[in-house]
Structure 1
């Protein structure tokens, strides 16, 4: 069975001036409508009620349809909310095991904290105990979509939502060694329509 070429292999071409320069390949990522949905603060795991000890969740988890950065949302009785940090374990788009410790909640304040790594699957969620059993913690995903390339520079040319080119450049985070740390966040909110991203690799 034939497979596509490895676009990450560096190739060189000769310019008309006789100098040798690196060649790049244009890639168009298509993120289907079913995956390009609006952020959902409970899209991975609905609210878990705090207990007197740490909660370890391994069931009832819904994986995003495309690798996404995650969120944790504290709710319920505000006075029971503690500055805990949720730990998420899973895999990236390549199937490598990854872990992220999300930012701490604000004491006695309901709210959402944002993750940065793009998870393809979530296998375990560790939620430390809050100050009381009236607090809840939900896990969801934000607007950051995973880029399936380890980029050494921001080579994104353009992004399109529902075939309309974004007027403002997307926020792109790159990392040449960690696949899960390459993400793109469109200027417009995702709305369940197809997204295309043009980039050079």
Structure 2
């Protein structure tokens, strides 16, 4: 028999989800394997635990279920070949994610009205370091400077896509939209502008404070392994030889079952790579 082009194993081929404080049952947005094959689960950070239960069908269209225990970032592979995936039951989170909070404090008294400058540096933000100009008036104090900057940041074309803007008095606060690992590069720099029309009197504050470090939330993915399903129930290993891209495999691992079709599988010694797989077996 032949599998024309089985793709390489893919850790999130079926789906990737954020865990929450409540268990979830996913029945939409699931992607079926390219060929009937065994699946695997893996977490995004160390220490994630809990069971993931996968439901689908085998090559005969029979409903099958497999429960796999999460072990942090170590993938846990199943033994059943799924043709389709119709549901995934996810556990509750082990770690709660935290949105990073960065705080800058404006200072100074404006003696010449004009354009001041803020530079936002953030990993993954387009254009970083991103320059945000804002206008200040003569006599503005720290609170006024901060208020003008907060308004400019809230109206900016880039910043609000990644951060919520807030703050009181002289503070300018950016809160990440999503939970993620702490971004050590995140910074809010405030100063007078440059060149014609620049303000005078805004005290340079080159660095901001990481007031709440970010923590990534738990994510779990279900993906494919290199183990392909065989279309026959068998009490014995009858595979004579297997080939990947017309090169004989050094020794595939074959698992058989006379009762459960989904437990009849073949795992080549070589990793799948989108090339044809041929197996010669007695039926």
Is the TM value for this pair above 0.5?
yes
Distance 2:18 2:235 in 1: 41
Partner secondary structure for residue 64 of structure 2: strand
Of 221, 238, 247, the match for 1:164: 247
- Deviation for aligned residue 1:169: 1.5
Distance in 1 between residues matched to 2:75 and 2:251, nearest whole Å: 25
Match of 1:180, SS?
helix
Partner of 1:124: 87
- Number of matched pairs: 163
- SS at 1:111's partner residue? coil
Confirm or deny that 1:155 pairs with 2:238. yes
Aligned to 1:44: 14
Structure 1 residue runs of 4 or more that deviate by more than 6 Å after TM superposition: none
Gapped regions of structure 1 (runs ≥ 5): 1-28
Per-residue CA shift, 1:3-50, capped at 9, x if unaligned? xxxxxxxxxxxxxxxxxxxxxxxxxx11011xx1110010011x2111
Separation (CA, whole Å) in 2 of partners of 1:50 and 1:165: 42
**Offset at 1:111?**
2.2
Aligned match for 1:62, one of 11, 26, 31: 31
In the alignment, does 2:223 pair up with 1:140? yes
SS in 1 for 2:81: strand
**Deviation by residue 1:98-133 (Cα, 9 ceiling, x = unmatched):** 00011x223xx3221111100000000001102223
Q: Offset at 1:64?
A: 0.9
* Cα distance in 1 between the residues matched to 2:60 and 2:252: 23
Deviation at 1:159, TM superposition (A): 0.2
Give the TM-score normalised by structure 1. Answer: 0.78
2:106 is matched with which residue? Answer: none
1:163 Cα offset (Å): 1.1
Alignment match, 1:14: none
Q: TM-score, with normalisation over the residues of structure 2?
A: 0.56
The CA distance in 2 between the partners of 1:88 and 1:52, in whole Å, is 20
Indicate if the aligned counterparts of 1:52 and 1:132 stay in contact, CA closer than 8 A.
no
CA contact (8 A) 2:56 2:87 kept: yes
Counterpart position of 1:30: 2
Greater Rg over alpha carbons, structure: 2
- Alpha-carbon distance in 2 for matches of 1:49, 1:126: 12
Q: 1:105 matched to which residue of 2?
A: 70
